[in-house]
Structure 1
Amino acid sequence: MTASTERGADAPDRIPGDHRHLWTVIRLHRPAMWVWIAFVVLTTAAMLWLRYGPYGTGAVEIQEGCGTAGVRDCSMIPNDAEALFQFWNLLDQISSVLRNIAPVVAAWAGGAVVARELENGTAELAWTQAVTPTRWLKEKLAVPALFLTVGTGALVLHFRTLLYWADAHNLLGAGYDIQDFYFAFGPSTVALVLFGLAIGVLTGFLARGTLPALAVAGAVTWISTWLMNPWRTQIWPTVTHPRKGEGPFGYAAMPCQWKQADHKYSVDACLGAKPASLYWPVQLVETGFLLLIGGLAVAAAFWLLRRRTP
């Protein structure tokens, strides 16, 4: 046997240990990875369909030319604007998916990754083969966090592109739904998904079983996002009759569609618009808060791990 052949045979053994552990984690938890990839692909497809499908193209036709001389004001919506109403409804639902469903999927992934290995004994086996418990948990956090950050970042960028396009075609109006948009196209959404992962990992240690971990992690994360929604929209000042904002986030503060004296639903329709200048304070405060709570959950998971191992 030649020296080159011997080197070829020995090459796999000289693959860096970190790379081997990375691929081991990915192969062991393929179901969780594919669920997240499917979520990203389906959400992306929904945004593409909303933009290029019948509701997006129909809404553009309804608003075409509005605001120019001789054409109605963009805030005066005709009665037969079903496509525009459906576009608003679906846009709001996509925003809700990013804010409420994405962290639940992340929590499910985190709970599955930890609980499955604790339940079938894979974790204890790894701890006896030169992998310390602390390193094991770091790997279980790092690999999903990488996938979740990349996937969520792509969804946020795509949603922001969709909002830019909608604003360019006069498809956005002020109202309390705009608050959801304000929180769905920035770094706080990524932090919210990582928060879900941290809750899932902690639940995996507490539940000690895959199915209980999935159920509890999903429920706790969903309840957390549900409780945060009112807090998120009430701590920041709103503008009842805003003007078009300046800068890249100005579309979040477009004029109200109805005058309070003219429409019985004016309070619901006009409350909640936020000026563009609040965007970064809103994003940074919520991002920091979520990372802090997620960090505490991760610290609790490491504490439970030390209690479990000698």
Structure 2
Amino acid sequence: MSAIALRGPERVVIHQHRRALWSAGALALMGVAVVVAAWLWASSASDTFAGSGCSVENTVRGCGDTVRAFLDTELRFSRAVDYAGLAMMVLPACVGMFVAGPLVGRELESGTYQTSWSQSVSPARWLAARLAVPAVLTLAGVSVLSAFSAWAWSRAKGTYYPRGDWYEREVYGAMGTAPVGYALCVLALGALAGLLLRRTVAAMVVTVLAYVPLVMVLNRVREDLWPTARFLGGDRPGGDAWPVDSGMLTASGRAIRLKDCSGGAGDTAACMRDRGGVTAFADYHPASHFWPLQLVETGILLALAALAVALAFRVLRRRHG
């Protein structure tokens, strides 16, 4: 989106906040460059180590420095991926704070919105511009960063210090469509907070306070957003499966879950057998459930975003006509 190609309030929004937008883009590019540089360094060190004849598990004399250098580069890349994942988790809060504070709250607090409204720009058009511009930029930027996070995670999985599994919060929340859903949802919540509070700092704080329970609740219910698969037998499903629940089935098919016999004295398996359990089971999400879980969670977030936007326009109409 270019300010040259835009007209009216959208162009004004970009012009007013061009420094913040350029700074955000520069920070994102710097982060990407750091992770890519760490990967290139680790790849070069891996190739050198492979041709050295040394081994991490069984080092021979004279290999100590080579092994340490190799492991150091692998660790640095893995840490860079960790920091990138953490940044993706924080990014929605930053987007929401920017909309709640500088984009909406400060305009209402300082009264500068009246200048726009006196120049044939209706309140609804004014708010629409302050939602549309960051929404388009967020959709484009976060989508690219999410794809990059998936690439970095896949590379880190093959190192000596592999990162977490796909279902772990820090990994899951940095890949797929969920980061976009969170960013757009918190963006809408930020606009609503700015309209309700009409104070820059207060709106930013409330937006962050709304983001935290949103993440906590969805992390808690995520495993139930898509039906689990069931594995029968004494072993657990392997691979990248996300174990959700386990226990035993009775002859009639009733499930006796592990939590029903946990916390007490004695053998858990014996407890379940005493209750009629005959066949062990494990409920899990295979790696193929990543996208169904992501899309359902994103749908919930977009529905919440739409609700917040509708409430924001309702508040605007009630207060300013």
Structure-2-length-normalised TM-score: 0.67
Q: Secondary structure at the match of 2:135?
A: helix
1:15-164 alignment to 2 at 5 Å? 19-53=7-41, 60=46, 84=74, 87-98=77-88, 100-111=89-100, 112-164=102-154
Q: Is the 8 A contact 1:178 1:272 kept in 2?
A: no
3-state SS of 1:19 partner: coil
Deviation at 1:121, TM superposition (A): 1.9
Question: Could you say which residue in structure 2 is the equivalent of 1:288?
Answer: 299
CA contact (8 A) 2:78 2:163 kept: no
Deviating more after overlay: 85-94 vs 135-144: 85-94
Conserved? CA contact 2:75–2:161, under 8 Å: no
1:184 partner SS: coil
Question: 1:63, 1:169 within 8 Å by CA — same for their partners in 2?
Answer: no
- Give 1:147 shift: 1.2
Q: Establish whether residue 203 from structure 1 lines up as the match of residue 193 from structure 2.
A: yes
Given residue 94 of structure 1, which amino acid in structure 2 is its aligned partner?
A: A
The whole-number CA distance in structure 1 between the counterparts of 2:9 and 2:19 is 17
Q: Distance in 2 between matches of 1:292 and 1:165?
A: 33
Shift in Å at residue 176 of structure 1?
Answer: 7.9
Superimposed CA distance per residue, residues 207-252 of structure 1 (whole angstroms, 9 cap, x where no aligned partner):
21222222222332234324433333565659995544xxxxxxx5
Within 5 Å, which residues of 2 pair with 1:150-299?
150-167=140-157, 172=162, 175=165, 178-232=168-222, 237=228, 241-244=236-239, 252=240, 274-299=285-310
Aligned to 2:269: none
Distance apart, 1:188 and its partner CA: 1.6
Superposition deviation, residue 304 in structure 1: 0.7
After the TM superposition, which of the residue ranges 226-235 and 143-152 deviates more from structure 2? 226-235
Q: Distance in 2 between matches of 1:155 and 1:89?
A: 17
Deviations 1:245-267 (A, max 9, x none): xxxxxxx559xxxxxxxxxxxxx
Residue 61 of structure 1: CA displacement?
6.5
- Report if the CA contact (8 A) 2:225-2:293 is conserved: no
Choose 115-124 or 230-239, whichever is displaced more.
230-239
Quick one: distance in 2 between partners of 1:281 and 1:85? 32
1:69-109 deviation line (CA, Å, top 9, x unaligned): x998xxxxxx97565555445433422321x2010111112
Inter-partner Cα distance in structure 2 for 1:86 and 1:177: 23
Matched residue pairs, number?
Answer: 259
Which structure carries more helix by proportion?
1
Distance 2:190 2:206 in 1: 8
1:301 aligned residue (312, 316, 320): 312
Distance change (3 Å), C-alpha of 1:190 and 1:64? farther
Q: Which deviates further from its counterpart, 123-132 or 148-157? A: 123-132
TM-score by length of 1: 0.69
Change (3 A) 1:38 1:222: farther
Which of the two has greater strand per residue? 2
* Aligned mates of 1:124, 1:63 — CA distance in 2: 65
Select the structure of larger CA radius of gyration.
2
